Structure 1
């Protein structure tokens, strides 16, 4: 074979080897991730705070859990997998990591979804919260009802009562894979809560005093017209001093209001009559509750 032929043959052999190597790399890179690879990807996403990666390797990634995870105070670190057991379309990965200064171990359940391994919902932890004031708690921008078991990704979280601008208090909680955590908040009313409740009361009193022939219920209005009127055709109100409100986590008292009521109708003698009544001890009481964003008064 001539020298030129040798060079051509060598080039062809190199080309074949290059194509073969490229095919091998393509096959390896396009091969679905193993259960162990997926478990490691999940741990590393928890470690880095990558919510998109968590959603990609989880069978269930609740939006509220992803929102809360974005506000986690501390994430896991020093992650490893120690063993993986696979049986058909399910697997369990034994993993270890550091969280809140301690090393923890956990079992992550996996299942195959459309040919790819995913971490099952049992790989998340859960939290049940309670509070001395309000019906909701917050983690970052995520809001949860008290007493409700909610799924969360493993991390350390700060839990606060809601609404945040009306209630104070906080507690830290560690959420671990496959485990349930509980937290009880000692919540307190902020001055803004009383201000918001007074505003809500004033709006309610404005509705109470729009006027009409009937005395509205749930308004604390008592008019002793029965001994002077046979029938009432109209009542006009003027609030001279609104009742001053005192708020508790579950109720309210509003006292020392001054209300003027002018009653028009038919007197006991059958003639037209108009009489003005002045109440200097106008008061209301009722229940108070908190939604995710505001305080709600329910007068008795």
Structure 2
């Protein structure tokens, strides 16, 4: 056999050996990690404050919860897995950690799926929130309806009444694995809320007075034309002053408006008639509700 042939054969053998070694290493690295390792990896991800790292552990968590976690006020620390019980494709891990200035113990349930151990919903906590005024709270970049059970990753969060540009109020909440926490967020109206409400009311009343209706609903307009007219064919309005709004937590009043109405029609004697009516006490009342982004008025 020639020297060249022997070299080729030797080189081929080397390649086979390398490929075989790589195959052995890959097979070993793809073996499922233990339930204890998976629980510890989840705890480390929570300690890091990195939502991508948490998501990479495989736990089922919503994008809103991940966004809130990115801006959590405080994270778990000194986390450790203290005991693990495993049975076939399920396991339970006892863990301890510090959060919110206290030491906590919790129990994480894990499942073996497609060769990987994953922490289930026991690794998340639930918040039940009440807020008034308003119906929503913001946790970092995420906004939630306060009446819903809000599922979050363990951490300390600042819950703020929403919309934050109209309401001022908040409360801190400590979210623990497998636990439900109740919080109450008391909010107050910011001056910006009155400004937004006044603008919305002005637009509504301007629409009312451009409708041409004799008595448009929800506009606070009352014209005593019944004693002067048998029938009205046309009405025109002129706003001299819009009512000024005053907000409360659930309603509003608006007063001191000035409105002129010019009414044309058939008088009680059967002849054509036009009269002008004026009020310097134009007022409106109604309800105020909040979504997660704005306030809404409903006039009576």
The normalised TM-score by structure 1 is 0.91
State the partner residue of 2:194: 194
For residues 36 and 230 of structure 1, do their structure 2 counterparts lie closer, same or farther at Cα, with a shift above 3 Å needed? same
For residues 248 and 48 of structure 2, what CA distance do their matches in structure 1 show?
42
SS in structure 2 of the partner of residue 73 of structure 1: coil
For residues 67 and 56 of structure 1, what CA distance do their matches in structure 2 show?
15
Q: What are the residue-to-residue correspondences of 1:87-236 with 2, within 5 Å?
A: 87-236=87-236
State the partner residue of 1:280: 280
SS in structure 2 of the partner of residue 226 of structure 1: helix
Aligned CA-pair RMSD = 2.1
For residues 230 and 16 of structure 1, do their structure 2 counterparts lie closer, same or farther at Cα, with a shift above 3 Å needed? closer
Deviation >3 Å, runs of 4+: 14-25
Say how many residue pairs are matched: 290
SS in structure 2 of the partner of residue 293 of structure 1: coil
Partners of 2:107 and 2:122 within 8 A in 1: no
The normalised TM-score by structure 2 is 0.91
- Long gaps (5+) in structure 1: 1-13
Deviation at 1:154, TM superposition (A): 0.2
1:93-146 alpha-carbon deviations (Å, 9 max, x no partner): 111111122221111111123332211112200101111211111101111112
State the partner residue of 1:3: none
* Between 148-157 and 82-91, the greater mean CA deviation after superposition: 82-91
For residues 15 and 258 of structure 2, what CA distance do their matches in structure 1 show?
98
For residues 213 and 126 of structure 1, what CA distance do their matches in structure 2 show?
52
State the partner residue of 2:46: 46
Deviation at 1:38, TM superposition (A): 1.3
Partners of 2:245 and 2:254 within 8 A in 1: yes
Partners of 1:213 and 1:233 within 8 A in 2: no
1:29-64 alpha-carbon deviations (Å, 9 max, x no partner): 221222112111111111111212222324421111
State the partner residue of 1:67: 67
Partners of 1:213 and 1:232 within 8 A in 2: no
Partners of 1:170 and 1:185 within 8 A in 2: yes
